[in-house]
Amino acid sequence: MKTKIFCSVCEVSFVYKDSLAVEDSVICPVCGARLQIIKLDPEVEAIRFPQKPEDEILERIENYARIKGYVFNENKQEVVDGMLEKNNKYGDFYCPCRFDNIKENVCPCRETRMNQGRKEGRCL
Ligand SMILES: [Zn+2]
């Protein structure tokens, strides 16, 4: 069975090939976010998996790094702390290196998802 799932974090749909049930969780292959299935009919609906902010962003960046084959440098915790601070202030994990707190700068930011990191060897 092939199912199309929309990721509300990176705003991209992806195809999921295994069977699904309500309350299952899946990892977005584009951004690494964990999503929880809340509805199957008539269309699959998924939300961010409910978890503590620190757990959510750590899991997301670790999933993303694994998917892309990236490694963290020594600034990992500093960047995570910056994202947690932005999440507290602005309601989402905006990149702490970017000025604008807009959807495309939610980690992993759009530029990174568009493989900019491959060219520059880092996420920003
Ligand atoms: Zn996603």
Neighbours of ion ligand 1 (CB under 5 A): 7, 9-10, 28, 30-31, 33
Output the pTM of the full model: 0.92
* CATH class of the domain comprising 3-48: mainly beta
Give 107 Cα–ligand 1 centroid separation in angstroms: 10
pLDDT tens digits along 16-70: 999 999 999 999 999 999 999 999 999 999 999 999 999 999 999 999 999 999 9
Ligand 1 centroid to residue 34 C-alpha, Å:
8
* Strands of 8-92, DSSP E: 12-16, 25-27, 34-39, 45-48
Ligand 1 centroid distance, CA of 122 (Å):
20
For the chain, domain boundaries: 3-48, 53-120
Distance CA 103, CA 21 (A): 29
CA of 89 to the centre of ligand 1 (A): 22
Q: Please, is 36 exposed, middle or buried when counting C-beta atoms within 10 Å of its C-beta (0-12, 13-18, 19+)?
A: middle
Return the percentage of the chain with pLDDT > 70, whole number: 99
Give the pLDDT of residue 119.
Answer: 75
